[in-house]
Amino acid sequence: MPDCGPIEHYELEYRKTNGDAALRVAAGACWEKIHDIKEPHVTVSGVKFDSDFIVVRVRARNKTAASEFSDPVTLETRAFNFEFDAATAHAELRVQGDTVTWEPQGVKGHDPRLRAKENKSRSATPSPSKTAGSRAGRDRFAGESYTVLGDQEMTDSCHYWQLCPLADWKSFSAGVAYRTSLGRFDQLGKNSGSWCLHASQWLQTSLSVKHNNRAKALDSPLPQRIGIYCDYNNGDLLFIDLDRLRLLHSFKTKFSQPLVPAFTVWCGGITIKTGLQVPSFVGNFLSSSRSASNLSQ
């Protein structure tokens, strides 16, 4: 920078790219700007990491002039980016982008013949064509399983996403599941292949976690923003109240199959935010969760 006086602030720019070279810019990506940075470090929040890399450059500035931008630095993003898999959604769930809402269609979802079919299917010995390994090809969820899955699998590494209930919500569940473990009528948390947080303000307020048909009530106010962290390799699943920044519950297990995010919505709706980097505060919760009381596998 020319000798035009002391540095008053910095300017940072970043843009997304799908390669490890700055010239391979993701389609439609442009430089996003952050001005008036007073310190030699800054935290960029609210970025959706839906590309493989992000390119960053910075320059110094004062009232008179600005320096040239630094050489761009390309950083790899490891965020988990997924969408709702509309093909799995219950017929009474409407998927629109990052939002899913419950829209009842008469009594279709409450047909007693469906419940009878569910009971029959659970009591009968499964045929080779209906084993767990073939469930991935089943149709959308039905009956009283108002469920929709995420469209991306987790097979290793750490993943993080957020959920917010809409203003008119009454009941929802959120967690992870083995896609192959869920039949059309199965509900989250009621088998050994799904783990979830369940919130309800229908008739009475309740918050609980569920796994393998066991539930544990949580002594906590209903959260309005929930962070979900999954470390596949270490078997950690955390649910975090983001408004109060407190750990709601942690599961400790050993995942043995590919996982997908899983959601249940009854009356109202939820919205999700994905493509997020794992927040730094998760490390503190991982440490504290070692002494927490968890449901057994």
**For 28-42, 122-136, 276-290, which range has the lowest pLDDT when averaged over its residues?**
122-136
Residues 6+ apart with CB under 8 A from 268: 101, 102, 165, 166, 167, 168, 169, 170, 171, 172
- pTM summary value: 0.72
- β pairing state of 194-200 and 171-178: antiparallel
Count Cα neighbours of 62 within 13 Å in the Cβ-side half-sphere: 9
Kindly report, residue by residue over 185-223, the tens digit of the pLDDT: 999 999 999 999 999 999 899 999 999 999 999 999 999
Contact (CB, 8 A) for 190 and 174: no
Q: How far apart are CA 286 and CA 247, in angstroms?
A: 9
Choice between 10 and 40, residue whose per-residue pLDDT is larger: 10
Q: Give the DSSP letter of residue 244.
A: T
Which of 136, 296, 293 has its CA nearest to residue 213? 296
CB burial of residue 45 (10 Å; 0-12, 13-18, 19+) = exposed
Residue with tokens 């997304």: 16
Kindly report, residue by residue over 164-187, the tens digit of the pLDDT: 999 999 999 999 999 999 999 999
> In the prediction, which pLDDT does 280 show?
86
Does 135 have pLDDT greater than 50? no
Kindly report, residue by residue over 216-264, the tens digit of the pLDDT: 999 999 999 999 999 999 999 999 999 999 999 999 999 999 999 999 9
**For 12-16, 112-116, 247-251, which range has the lowest pLDDT when averaged over its residues?**
112-116
Residue with tokens 């203003």: 167
Which of 206, 181, 183 has its CA nearest to residue 194? 181
Sheet strands (E) in 192-293: 194-200, 206-211, 214-217, 226-231, 236-241, 246-252, 259-266, 268-273
Give the DSSP H/E element, type plus range, for residue 61.
Answer: strand 53-61
pLDDT cut 90: percent of the chain above it = 58
Domains of the chain (ranges, CATH numbers): 9-76 (2.60.40), 84-289 (2.60.120.920)
Choice between 16 and 233, residue whose per-residue pLDDT is larger: 233
